[in-house]
Structure 1
């Protein structure tokens, strides 16, 4: 029986993926085997020795201490693509609403309540909210993953010319893109052509302030910028300077901050990207499935700190080893198994930076002391026998 702790409210559809005959949901557990989390900050949360995995019901994992988890042999999962449709729809809505100044127009119209001649005031005042149509304009999309590809395709359907930049585009994402999306090799090729610019990349040290003073200087005057990915991807100071100079006409952002609020030309929404019941369900179901498969079978899918490793169970016992990615690690592991007269029916090993994961299906007389012997190897971080 695996004990699962939830740090946020998790959709019942997700919890249903953890049947009661195999999993116990205990939100007060001091020694859980797995944690399901959405937005709760875990950086000050103790990581008990029992903890094997954390599944984030969402894409971003900056609320989880990744390095500490890796060092402790705790697999961290996320759910890429589960909220993609929700975010993409919001971006498409922001393209339309932002271009037509709908937020300001609605606020202005609310102020007409109580006027004697509303119709006359409407006809007189609506000119201040005139905005361009999207058809025929050019949208630049930075990042063509699950969300970026959907946004690009929606913009094509709206009649826009769409340019895409993603040096790391996956095969699946490439197949999902409309043939009308033009691929740009560099940002320098794309930015000067864009009337609208939207960013859809994960927040990493290397992507922080992707939109900055230099990249904004390459844009045409009056560009409209959208950020529904992560606030840190945009240098707010540089953005506000570009707004003052007219380089940027409007900034649409899902991440309000003190310096952005109340600024003319900035439209902030309160992190609504994944705030749909469908998205919350999709994320919870995927996170629970990932957690279940790892705890029961040792398979890893969509981990941010370990390589993805998955293979069908072949019978016998399964040995799961998280270890340092160092020379001689595999030979040390197989040496222990050979000395124990175990037959390796199946083995897969993959690495991710400094850490690796080896999955072995074995037959033979597997003694209780084997896990301790494997754990004693210098490269070993965590050993499980299923």
Structure 2
């Protein structure tokens, strides 16, 4: 089968090519991001493989369905960038990779906590400039600090488990709790209000849904402890960035670690170092010394890339053999 793979980088090719070719398929790697303008590049393919910032709208699905598209393979966990209703109506099957490596993201989230807490990002640049002053680098012990995990899928639970290793008090919230596993990891569930009002660090691990869009907003921020640290390695749309900036300016929020941004689709995964930053909100975020932003790299480990490739190939084989694949997305 000929497969169009969008938004590809060298690391995608390195792992996806052997995984797909092992089953006799022929992947065609495109650096282009899929959207309504570039959808013509997918014409004639039975299957396409897309990533988090590709966009497959109803228009794109209806157009490609007429051109023979049958399968959409998401090489990521999220699927909010695909119009599932349109796919269902057109008979197009969609699959994702729900658990490529929860360890990679969980470890990265904790890494952001430690970097911000101990001001490692400041210390690194200071020493390289010959500045060995310790002023402004004071952090706090993670021990006995209360850390809140919002969303207890595999990544959220593992993040909490790692934090328990610091002897931190870890509480969590999820409308669909995994009580047994949380108890096993030394965590307990509380109401969202209690988590917001009592935690020193809040780490987000939720899917982006209508119910979670801008869940961190002016109202929820006002409930938090003064100086709270917020970590987001999940989806940028969980945070109202304008409200977050106001909270940073007032001192309500003390530190922010973000691997995602709500308007990242036109920026992330590309080298724009020679271009002027046109996003004024993002530019304002970059001016805060207590904000650490990375470019959606939390997933990027060798183990995760290998798992993504293998699961993507497995999802396609399941569809072709008439066996419901593990990663199938249903409405």
Question: What band does the TM-score fall into relative to the shorter chain?
Answer: 0.7 to 0.9
Q: Which residue of 2 aligns with 1:202?
A: 207
Counterpart position of 1:32: 45
Structure number with higher strand proportion? 1
CA change 1:216–1:29 in 2 (3 A) is: closer
The equivalent residue for 2:136 is: 128
Shift of 1:22: 5.2
Is 1:280 the counterpart of 2:279 in the alignment? Answer: no
Q: Can you list the C-alpha shifts for 1:32-79, whole angstroms capped at 9, x where unaligned?
A: 222222246243754144222111111123443433322211111111
CA deviations over 1:156-196 (Å, ceiling 9, x no partner):
0111100010112358xx43663410111x21122221010
> Which secondary structure does the structure 2 equivalent of 1:259 belong to?
helix
Q: TM-score, normalised by structure 1?
A: 0.69
Q: Which residue of 1 aligns with 2:181?
A: 175
Q: 1:158 to 1:258 in 2, by over 3 A?
A: same
Give the Å deviation of 1:12.
5.1
CA contact (8 A) 2:182 2:188 kept: no
Note if 1:241 corresponds to 2:246.
Answer: yes
- Higher Rg of the two aligned structures: 1
Alignment equivalent of 1:231, drawn from 217, 222, 236: 236
In the alignment, which of 67, 82, 90 is matched to residue 85 of structure 2?
67
1:102 aligns to what? 120
Matched residue pairs, number? 292
1:191 to 172, 193, 196: 196
Q: Structure 2 unaligned segments of length 5 or more: list them.
A: 30-40, 262-281
The Cα offsets for residues 239-289 of structure 1, whole Å up to 9 and x where unpaired, read as: 122222221111111135333122232111121111222212111211110
What SS does the aligned partner of 1:250 have?
A: strand
* Alpha-carbon distance, 1:132 to partner: 0.7
Q: 1:90 aligns with which of 108, 118, 124?
A: 108
What 5-or-longer segments of structure 1 have no aligned partner?
A: 113-120, 307-351, 353-386
> How does the TM-score come out when normalised to structure 2?
0.80
2:288 counterpart (254, 257, 263): 263
The match for 1:148 among 139, 148, 156 is 156
C-alpha distance in 2 between matches for 1:258 and 1:69: 36
1:4/1:33 contact within 8 Å kept: yes
Please report the RMSD computed on the Cα atoms of aligned residues, expressed in angstroms.
2.4
Structure 1's 82 and 237: CA in aligned 2 closer, same or farther, altered over 3 A? Answer: same
Q: Greater CA deviation, 6-15 or 65-74?
A: 6-15
Asked whether the 8 Å contact 1:141–1:198 carries over to 2, the reply is: yes
